[in-house]
Amino acid sequence: MADLRNLADEEMMQLVQSGEPRAFELLYDRHGGAAFSLAYRMVGNRVTAEDITQEAFLSIWRSRLRYDQARGSVRTWVLGIVHNRAIDALRRSVVHDRRRETIEGVEERFEARDRTDVEAARREEARSVRSALDTLPVDQRRTIELAYFGGFSHSQIAELLDEPIGTVKGRMRLGLDKMRRQLAEGVAAEGLA
Give the domain extent around 31.
2-85
- What does the pLDDT look like over 37-71, one tens digit per residue? 999 988 888 999 999 999 999 999 998 888 888 88
Whether residue 67 is found in the same domain as residue 128: no
Whether residue 78 is found in the same domain as residue 146: no
| Measured distance CA(24)–CA(61) in Å, rounded | 8
> Residue 67 belongs to a domain with what CATH number?
1.10.1740.10
In the chain, which ranges are continuous DSSP H helix?
2-5, 9-17, 21-43, 46-62, 74-111, 117-134, 138-148, 154-161, 165-192
> CB-side exposure of 4: number of CA atoms within 13 Å?
17
**CB of 169 within 8 A of CB of 177?**
no
The answer to whether residue 100 is domain-embedded is no
Q: Which of 46, 69, 85 is the last residue of a domain?
A: 85
The answer to whether residue 172 is domain-embedded is yes
> Residue 159 belongs to a domain with what CATH number?
1.10.10.10
Whether residue 139 is found in the same domain as residue 81: no
The answer to whether residue 139 is domain-embedded is yes
Whether residue 79 is found in the same domain as residue 141: no
Whether residue 12 is found in the same domain as residue 80: yes
- What does the pLDDT look like over 81-134, one tens digit per residue? 999 999 888 887 765 566 666 555 555 555 554 557 777 777 777 788 888 888
Q: How many structural domains are present in the chain?
A: 2
